[in-house]
A and B are shown apart, each in its own frame.
Chain A
Amino acid sequence: MNLIRDAFHIGVTDLRHFFRSRMALVSFIVMPVFMMLMMGYIFPSDNSIKGLKIGIVFEDNGIFANMIKSQFEKYSEKYGSFVELSSRQKGIDEIKEGKLVGFFIIPKGFSGDILAGHKTTMILVPDQTNPQLDMAVEQMGSEMVRKMSARIGKENLIRFAKVKGDAFKFLDPISFRTEGIVKGKTSYFDFMAPGVMAMVAVMSVMNGLGVAIARDKEMGTLDGLLVSPISRGSIVIGKIFAQTIRGILQASIILLLAILLFGVTVHGSISLTFFLLILGIFSFIGGGIILTAMAPDQETGMLLMTTVTFPMLFLSGVFFPIQQMPGFMQVISKFFPLTYAASALRKVMILGASIQQVMPEIGMLLLFAVITMGAALPLFGKLVTD
Chain B
Amino acid sequence: MEAIRAEGLTKQFKDVLAVDQVSFVVKEGEIFGFLGPNGAGKSTTIRMLATLTLPTKGTAYVNGKDVVKESDEVRKSIGLVSEKMILYDRLTAYENLRLFGNLYHLPSKRLNEKIEEFLKLVDMWRWKDHRVETFSTGMKQRVNVIRALLHSPKVLFLDEPTLGLDPQTTRAIREFILKVNDMGTTVILTTHIMSEADAVCQEIGIIDHGKIVALDTPRNLKKNIKSDDVEIIEVEFITLFTDMLNTLQNTHGIDKVIQLDANNLRLHLKKDFGLRSLMKVLSPWSDGIRALNTLEPTLEDVFIKLTGHEMRDQASKKAKKSFAGAGAHRF
A interface residues, Cβ below 8 angstroms from B: 2, 5-6, 9-10, 13, 16-17, 20-21, 218-221, 223-230, 385
Contact = CB atoms under 8 A, between A and B. Distances in A.
A220 B83 contact: yes
A9 B329 contact: no
A128 B229 CA distance: 94
A21 to B, nearest CB: 6
Contacts of A230: 103
Nearest to A226: B52
The 6 closest A-B pairs by CB, nearest first: A220-B84, A224-B86, A228-B103, A229-B75, A20-B90, A229-B76
B88 A17 contact: yes
A224 B96 CA distance: 11
B90 A17 contact: yes
Given A218-B329, A220-B83, A230-B103, A13 B75 contact: no
Nearest to B90: A20
A5 B104 CA distance: 11
Contact of A227 (B80, B83, B88, B95): B80
Interface string B163-199: 0000000000000000000000000000000000000
B85 interface: yes
Contact of A2 (B78, B80, B105, B329): B105
Nearest to A222: B86
Given A220-B86, A226-B51, 10 more contacts: A9-B99, A13-B95, A16-B88, A17-B91, A20-B91, A219-B88, A223-B86, A224-B80, A227-B78, A229-B75
13 contacts: A9-B99, A16-B88, A17-B88, A20-B90, A219-B85, A219-B88, A221-B87, A223-B52, A227-B51, A227-B80, A229-B75, A229-B76, A230-B103
B102 interface: yes
A19 to B, nearest CB: 9
Given A219-B89, A224-B147, A229-B72, A6 B103 contact: yes
Contacts of A229: 72, 75-76, 103-104
Nearest to A24: B90
B100 interface: yes
B82 interface: yes
Contacts of A226: 51-52
A11 to B, nearest CB: 11
Given A16-B91, A229-B76, A224 B100 contact: yes
Contacts of B86: 220-221, 223-224
Of A5, A220, A225, most buried by chain B (CB within 10 Å of CB) is A220
A227 to B, nearest CB: 5
A313 to B, nearest CB: 32
A221 B329 contact: no
Nearest to B328: A218
B50 interface: yes
B103 A9 contact: yes
B19 to A, nearest CB: 16
Contacts of B84: 219-220, 223
Contacts of A224: 80, 86-87, 100, 147
A215 to B, nearest CB: 10
Interface in B53-112: 72, 75-76, 78, 80, 82-91, 95, 99-100, 102-105
Interface in B275-317: none
**Which of B72, B83, B88, B89 has its CB near the most chain A CB atoms (within 10 A)?**
B88
Contacts of A218: 326, 329
A10 B90 CA distance: 14
Contacts of A10: 99
B104 A228 contact: yes
Contact of B91 (A2, A13, A220, A228): A13
Nearest to B78: A227
Given A21-B90, A221-B88, A227-B52, A9 B80 contact: no
A220 B104 contact: no
Given A2-B105, A229-B76, A220 B95 contact: no
B153 to A, nearest CB: 10
B187 to A, nearest CB: 16
B87 A227 contact: no
B103 A225 contact: yes
Nearest to B95: A16
Nearest to B98: A9
Contacts of A9: 99, 102-103
Contact of B82 (A5, A21, A220, A385): A220
A294 to B, nearest CB: 18
Contacts of B83: 220
Contacts of B100: 224, 228
Nearest to B75: A229
A385 B54 CA distance: 10
Nearest to A21: B90
B141 to A, nearest CB: 12
A16 B76 contact: no
A13 B87 CA distance: 11
Contacts of A221: 86-88
A226 B84 CA distance: 14
A26 to B, nearest CB: 15
A227 B147 contact: no
Nearest to A386: B53
**Residue in A5, A6, A221, A230 with the greatest tally of chain B CB atoms within 10 Å:** A221
A14 to B, nearest CB: 9
A213 to B, nearest CB: 14
Interface string B151-163: 0000000000000
Interface centre among B50, B72, B100 (most CB of A within 10 A): B100
A227 B80 CA distance: 7
Nearest to B79: A227
A6 B36 CA distance: 37
A9 B103 CA distance: 8
A179 to B, nearest CB: 55
Given A226-B52, A229-B75, A220 B88 contact: no
Contacts of B131: 20
A228 B95 CA distance: 17
A21 B90 CA distance: 8
A13 B131 CA distance: 13
B158 to A, nearest CB: 13
Contacts of A13: 88, 91, 95, 99
A13 B100 CA distance: 10
A9 B95 CA distance: 11
Nearest to B71: A229
B75 A228 contact: yes
